[in-house]
Amino acid sequence: MSARRVVLGVSGASGAMLGLAAARHLASLGVETDLVASAAARRTLAEECGPEALRALEAMVTRSHAIDDIGAAIASGSVPVSGMIIAPCSMRSLAAIAHGLDDNLLTRAAGVQLKERRRLVLLPREAPLTLAHLRNMTAATEMGAIIMPPVPAFYLGHRTLEQAAEQIAARAVDLMAVSPPCAQHWSPEAEDQPAGNC
């Protein structure tokens, strides 16, 4: 299995900057990255991050796949990758993954990670959560996914939303185990926390 290839999914939940931050971290590590962004993600990227955000995202990855391209390489378990991050993960995508509805390339690629017993890290973005959301998170976890809500590390004293998003994305990338950990870590001895290795 390749230790240096990751699938990055971006779905239509709010928090599009998380996908950009994850792509930046993967690019900084030299990780081969396959991007698949939903139609709703493309709209959210434009509305939350600006009209050039999608182009910037695509410039950071190795290859970009259309959401309806179910014949793409990442739709097959025979293609070796370390795993997949979906940042952010909409409740619609979470539900499809939790119930095995491989109805587009994003959910199919996620299903491939589960069936191949590879890492699948989901950053679900919604609040408050309904019972359906919680049950879908449980179902995905039972199949092997890692549910990582994009909760800021308040203890690190980040001053901007961008800093918080970078930390969250770095932690998601760390879960792929494609490099030594690069997320900023807590150290009670230091007033100013180290910036990490990325």
Q: Which fold has domain 5-174?
A: Rossmann fold (3.40.50)
Give the pLDDT of residue 190: 56
pLDDT tens per residue, range 3-36: 599 999 999 999 999 999 999 999 999 999 999 9
SS (H, E, C) 89-106: ECHHHHHHHHCCCCCCHH
**Cβ atoms 21, 168 nearer than 8 A:** yes
> By percentage, how much of the chain surpasses pLDDT 70?
94
Sheet with strand 146-147: strands edge to edge: 63-65, 32-37, 5-10, 83-89, 119-124, 146-147
Q: Which of 147, 166, 148 is nearest to 156 (CA)?
A: 166
Give the pLDDT of residue 189: 73
Give the pLDDT of residue 171: 97
Give the pLDDT of residue 2: 44
Residue with tokens 């308040």, as numbered in its chain: 154
Please name the helix (run of DSSP H) or strand (run of DSSP E) that holds residue 8, with its range, or none.
strand 5-10
* β-bridge mates for residue 146, sequence order: 121
- The three-state secondary structure class of 39 is helix
Give the pLDDT of residue 187: 81
**Cβ atoms 14, 48 nearer than 8 A:** yes
Break the chain into its structural domains and give their ranges: 5-174
Give the pLDDT of residue 186: 84
pLDDT tens series, the chain, 198 aa: 345 999 999 999 999 999 999 999 999 999 999 999 999 999 999 999 999 999 999 999 999 999 999 999 999 999 999 999 999 999 999 999 999 999 999 999 999 999 999 999 999 999 999 999 999 999 999 999 999 999 999 999 999 999 999 999 999 999 999 999 989 888 887 555 544 555
